[in-house]
Structure 1
């Protein structure tokens, strides 16, 4: 689709439930990947639980590192799932759902 072409309103509306489902799926996938990544990064930890902001067992650096890693993984997975969903939508309906 060229930059000058715009997506029809019906395509945007039709894609909305697909996009919402993709968001749920990407969140679940990202959560699993983050937990596994955290376990690999902290094998010496007594608990494999990632630091949370309100847990006093962890220092600020650990909390911020975990938050940054989790955010990066979530953004990466969400972009991958969103892009795949949009490409699939375009193949089926012939129209890109964004723009």
Structure 2
């Protein structure tokens, strides 16, 4: 394994944790706009409809994927600027 890959591992892990927190906050805000409620439905919430549950799951997945890609890409670009090497 390349030294640049090994050196990037802790950075990648930190960015992953940060992206999870950012995505979680973004999802909560988006859900408030869509449904006007603070809590998104859980798959086992019997008081919510299939439509609400599946909409929440799809929205959460999309937000997490977009935020993760943006944070990972930004981290890789920053790493290349600092080290001159792409981390992958």
Pick from 5, 8, 24: which aligns with 2:17? 24
Higher relative contact order (CA 8 A, sep 6+): 1
Give me the TM-score of the superposition, normalised by structure 2. Answer: 0.95
Q: How does 1:29-44 map to 2 (within 5 A)?
A: 29-43=22-36
Aligned length: 88
Pick from 6, 10, 13: which aligns with 1:13? 6
Structure of greater Rg: 1
RMSD of aligned alpha carbons = 1.1
What's the offset of the Cα at 1:41? 0.5
What's the offset of the Cα at 1:54? 1.0
Give me the TM-score of the superposition, normalised by structure 1. Answer: 0.85
- The match for 1:89 is 79
What's the offset of the Cα at 1:55? 1.1
Q: Distance in 1 between matches of 2:47 and 2:22?
A: 27
Unaligned runs of 5+ in 2: none
Pick from 59, 72, 80: which aligns with 2:62? 72
Q: Distance in 2 between matches of 1:48 and 1:14?
A: 40
Pick from 28, 51, 55: which aligns with 2:45? 55
More helix by share: 2
What's the offset of the Cα at 1:32? 0.3
